[in-house]
Amino acid sequence: MRALAAAAATAVVAAPTPARLLLVSARRAAPRFGHCRASPFARLPRSACYASTTMGDETSTSASGSAQEPAAPGAGSVKQQISNLVALSLRATVPEVDVEPIVEVCTGKFGDYQCNNAMGLWSKVKGSGTSFKNPNAIGQAIAKNLPACDVIESASVAGPGFVNIVLSKSWVAKRIQDMLVNGIKTWAPILPVKRVVLDFSSPNIAKEMHVGHLRSTIIGDTLARMFEFSNVEVLRCNHVGDWGTQFGMLIEFLFEKFPNWEELGSQAIGDLQVFYKASKQRFDEDAEFKDRAQQAVVRLQGGEEKYRAAWKKICEISRNEFDQVYKLLDVQLEEKGESFYNPYIPQVLEKLSSQGLIEESEGARVIFIQGHQIPLIVVKRDGGFNYASTDLAALWYRLNVEKAEWIIYVTDVGQQQHFDMFFKAARMAGWLPDPKEKKFPKTSHVGFGLVLGADGKRFRTRSTEVVRLGDLLDEAKSRSKSELLQRLTENGKIVDWTDEELEQTSKAVGYGAVKYADLKNNRLTNYTFSFDQMLSDKGNTAVYLQYAHARICSIIRKSNMDVEELKVSGNISLAHPDERVLGLYLIRYAEIVEEACTNLLPSVLCEYLYNLSEMFTRFYTNCQVVGSPEEPSRLLLCEATAVVMRQCFQLLGITPVYKL
Helix/strand/coil (H, E, C) string of 181-229? HHCHHHHCCCCCCCEEEEECCCCECCCCCEHHHHHHHHHHHHHHHHHHH
Q: Using an 8 Å Cβ cutoff, are 270 and 317 in contact? A: no
Q: What is the pLDDT of residues 114-165, one digit of tens each?
A: 999 999 999 999 888 888 999 999 999 999 999 999 999 999 999 999 999 9
The pLDDT assigned to 467 comes to 76
Q: Using an 8 Å Cβ cutoff, are 107 and 177 in contact? A: no
| Pairing mode, strands 162-167 and 376-379 | unpaired
Q: What is the pLDDT of residues 100-112, one digit of tens each?
A: 999 999 877 789 9
Q: What are the CA-CA distances from residue 305 to residues 242, 246, 261, 299, 309 (Å)?
A: 17, 18, 14, 9, 6
Q: What is the average pLDDT across 291-304? A: 87
Q: At CA 639, angle to CA 622 and CA 550, rounded to 5?
A: 80
The proportion of the chain whose per-residue pLDDT surpasses 70, expressed as a percent, equals 87
609 versus 660: the higher-pLDDT residue is: 609
Q: What is the average pLDDT across 597-625? A: 97
| Of 7-16, 262-271, 523-532, 643-652, the least confident | 7-16
What 3-state DSSP class applies to 114? strand
| Dist CA 640 CA 585 (whole Å) | 11
Strand partners, 425: none
Judge whether residue 43 has pLDDT over 50: no
Which pTM value belongs to this model?
Answer: 0.86
Name the DSSP letter for residue 26. Answer: P
The pLDDT assigned to 109 comes to 79
Nearest to 646 by CA among 586, 562, 578: 586
Average pLDDT value for the chain: 86
Q: At what angle do helices 602-622 and 542-559 cross, to 10 degrees?
A: 40
| Dist CA 52 CA 526 (whole Å) | 29
Can you give the C-alpha Rg of the chain in angstroms? 28
Cβ neighbours, 10 Å, residue 90:
25
Q: Using an 8 Å Cβ cutoff, are 544 and 537 in contact? A: yes
The pLDDT assigned to 396 comes to 97
Judge whether residue 54 has pLDDT over 60: no
Q: Using an 8 Å Cβ cutoff, are 441 and 24 in contact? A: no
Core vs surface per residue 496-525: b (16+ CB within 10 A) or e: eeeeeeeeebbbbbbbbbbbbbbbbbebee
State the greatest distance between any 2 C-alpha atoms of the chain, in Å, as a whole number: 92
Q: What is the average pLDDT across 385-396? A: 94
Name the DSSP letter for residue 600. Answer: T
The pLDDT assigned to 7 comes to 37
Judge whether residue 234 has pLDDT over 70: yes
H or E element at residue 563: helix 563-569
Strand partners, 543: none
H or E element at residue 366: strand 364-367
For residue 268, name the pLDDT band (cuts at 50, 70, 90).
low
In sequence order, the 6+-apart residues with CB closer than 8 A to the CB of 126 are 132
Strand partners, 115: 103, 163
Name the DSSP letter for residue 3. Answer: T
For residue 74, name the pLDDT band (cuts at 50, 70, 90).
low
Judge whether residue 490 has pLDDT over 60: yes
In sequence order, the 6+-apart residues with CB closer than 8 A to the CB of 473 are 325, 328, 329, 510, 511, 514
Helix/strand/coil (H, E, C) string of 344-360? HHHHHHHHHHHCCCCEE
Q: What is the pLDDT of residues 211-220, one digit of tens each?
A: 778 999 999 9
Q: Using an 8 Å Cβ cutoff, are 142 and 86 in contact? A: yes
Residue-wise DSSP of 77-107: -HHHHHHHHHHHHHHHH-TTS-----EEEE-
Full set of structural domains in the chain with CATH: 78-167 (3.30.1360.70), 195-241+338-452 (3.40.50.620), 245-330 (no CATH), 485-652 (1.10.730.10)
Name the DSSP letter for residue 436. Answer: G
| Of 40-44, 289-293, 437-441, 580-584, the least confident | 40-44
| Dist CA 167 CA 150 (whole Å) | 9
The pLDDT assigned to 465 comes to 64
| Of 106-110, 201-205, 509-513, the least confident | 106-110
The pLDDT assigned to 148 comes to 92
| Dist CA 263 CA 128 (whole Å) | 88
Cβ neighbours, 10 Å, residue 50:
21
Q: Using an 8 Å Cβ cutoff, are 198 and 236 in contact? A: yes
Nearest to 453 by CA among 510, 509, 531, 520: 531
